[in-house]
A and B are shown apart, each in its own frame.
Chain A
Amino acid sequence: MDLQEYISLVFSDYTLRTITFGTAILGAVTGMLGSFAVLRKESLLGDAISHAALPGIAIAFLITGIKDGNVLLIGALISGLIGTFWIRGIVAKTHLKSDTALGLILSLFFGFGMLLLTFIQKQPDANQAGLDKYLFGQAATLVESDVWMMTISTGVCLFILMLFWKEFKLLLFDKDYTKTLGFNTQLIDILITTFIVLAIVLGLQTVGVVLMSAMLLAPAAAARQWTNSLATMVFLAALFGALSGVFGTAISASQNNLSTGPIIVLVASVFVMFSFVFSPSRGLLFKQLRFIKNRRDLELHKTLAFMFHIAENHKNISHPHAIKILNNFQGYTRKTLQKLVKKNYVTLHGNMWSLTDEGFKTASNLYNQQSRHE
């Protein structure tokens, strides 16, 4: 199937269209809110929330007896919120650190959820099968109403985000200061956290409890590499998330029997890896290149400064000196000498070198700068 064919299929085929739009919107909203989680250094919170949502799904089913997506989502939302605020409570009220609290709540809720799932499976009820799809997600079960649900939630989330943008940014950067300016930090905190929980819960059906936190973190981590502005970061994270959804769905649709959730997560990870390596300002590649260049420059400068030192003791700065005396100097290599010649700082005559006027001037500036720093 070629690309054009696939694109037309996305718009004509009901299932494919639903899944593509669903995963794109999901990726956008999780990416957007994931930026906040990453900047709050609460990356692991997403993992805890998604696991904490599992018992809610099971309980919602046990109470209502129906497998309607939205009913189960409400269950997930409630238990996700309980888990999250429980974690907050543990951190605030005890000596335990947040990683311990996260781990505790994550395993406690997940264990309880698994227990309930096995209990439900033992029930003599034909309706019970399929709840375990929430563990790893199953994008194929998305229907149009799910996509509407996601769209509306994302819309509300976007609206609140823009309305309280200033307050969110302030809180993310400096919480104590936010308090002194008279803002109710608890309220802003609850708003952000609730939206993060909501985004995670929305994704459970598609990506599943186990992989959901990657949807939150990967687009945000990738986006952070490309920008130094919060607004751009949130936008890029939403974009990367949406693209992960679209590409992930495309790959899974064109290869039989590959489940969508894991592929979306893998595509998101590709964004992360690419960003980590190739970002111009923060990427590993350019960092390494800059490092090498700086080292070379430094070598050059050191050699030039050494020559300047020698030349300084002579009336005529262009007085020739034997190359031999450079051999005692550590930073010196034949290569650096050649580079200095190329830059027209030094001239070579056989085995003798001498500084040019330009070289002397550059070196004296360099020398002044160095000594001023000391």
Chain B
Amino acid sequence: MNKKIAVKVDDLTVAYNYKPVLWDIDLEIPEGVLMAIVGPNGAGKSTLIKSILGILKPIAGSISIYGKPYIKQRKLVAYVPQKGSVDWDFPTTALDVVLMGTYGSLGWIKRPRQKEKKAALEALEKVGMLSLKNRQISQLSGGQQQRIFLARALVQNASIYFMDEPFQGVDATTEIAIINILKELRKAGKTVIVVHHDLQTVPEYFDWVTFLNVKKIATGPVKDIFNDENLTKTYGINYKVSIQE
């Protein structure tokens, strides 16, 4: 493979208390893939991306984004947290949340101006939410909230996107809209890493996959490694998934 490595994880170990959540993870994510991270509950999927993003401090190991630590490359990276991680009753509007995506490039103190606002409106349009831009965020449906989060990441105009279960609790229309945007990002040469739950849709949505269950089970192209053997290793039971040809 002659592609550049976008994200490299070496010997990563993370623990909240005593029990490790991630154990000795080595992972290379090539540039330009649309990758799913799959594994059972408590496998450390969210923990893995939070560690890569510097939200959690690992016990051991190192992480690099295009060869440098996260903090130096943060402008290349955008993050879509789990929808449930914030309080949607917070007093703010859809547009305001999307504008938050510009805060990183603005830095301390500087306020968003016309240019940032224009970018935010464009992102809202991309996710089909422009008409709801002034809506209070608690009055949005689950799918709409997820689109807002996606728009906030799109505004960051990054090279690598990390998304924590973007399809959780969204309607079918939103799921299709989101996956289309993700595929567009890949087409534009971006790297997209998604924590994903629905194994049925993995072959249809993604071209790369990482199996995770505290340890890394396997990583590679979906067509080569998305098979019953790896699924059984990851989920512990005799797993059969019917892959649609």
Binding site for B on A (CB under 8 A): 39, 41, 95, 163-167, 169-170, 172-174, 176-177, 179-183, 224, 227-230, 232-233
A residues in contact with B93, CB < 8 Å: 228-229
Give complex CA distance A181, B75 in Å. 8
- Closest CB-CB distance, B29 to chain A, in whole Å? 17
Q: Which of A164, A180, A233 contacts B79 (CB 8 A)?
A: A180
A residues in contact with B1, CB < 8 Å: none
B residues in contact with A165, CB < 8 Å: 111
Sample of 17 further A-B pairs with CB below 8 A, known A169-B92, A170-B103: A166-B103, A167-B103, A167-B109, A169-B100, A173-B86, A173-B87, A174-B85, A179-B55, A180-B53, A180-B79, A182-B71, A182-B74, A182-B75, A183-B104, A224-B91, A230-B90, A233-B91
Give complex CA distance A228, B87 in Å. 13
The 7 closest A-B pairs by CB, nearest first: A181-B104, A228-B136, A180-B79, A182-B74, A180-B53, A176-B55, A174-B86
Over the window 63-106 of chain B, the binary record of Cβ atoms lying under 8 Å from chain A Cβ atoms (1 yes, 0 no) is 00000000100110101010001110011110001001001101
Q: Establish whether residues B109 and A166, one from each chain, have CB atoms under 8 Å apart when the complex forms.
A: yes
Q: What's the dominant secondary structure at chain A's contact region?
A: helix
Q: Which of B50, B77, B104 contacts A176 (CB 8 A)?
A: B50
Q: Establish whether residues A166 and B104, one from each chain, have CB atoms under 8 Å apart when the complex forms.
A: no
A-B CB pair tally, cutoff 8 Å: 77
How many residues of B are counted as interface, with CB atoms below 8 angstroms from the partner's CB atoms? Answer: 31
14 A-B residue pairings within 8 Å (CB atoms): A39-B90, A41-B87, A164-B108, A166-B103, A170-B100, A170-B103, A174-B81, A176-B50, A176-B55, A176-B79, A181-B74, A183-B108, A229-B91, A230-B92
Q: Is B189 an interface residue (CB 8 A)?
A: no
Q: Is B54 an interface residue (CB 8 A)?
A: yes
Closest to B101 in A: A181
A residues in contact with B92, CB < 8 Å: 169, 173, 228-230
Give complex CA distance A181, B110 in Å. 14
Give complex CA distance A176, B84 in Å. 12
A residues in contact with B17, CB < 8 Å: 95
Interface centre among B71, B86, B138 (most CB of A within 10 A): B86
Q: Which of B50, B86, B90, B108 contacts A167 (CB 8 A)?
A: B108
In residues 10-65 of chain B, which contact A (Cβ within 8 Å)? 17, 50, 53-55
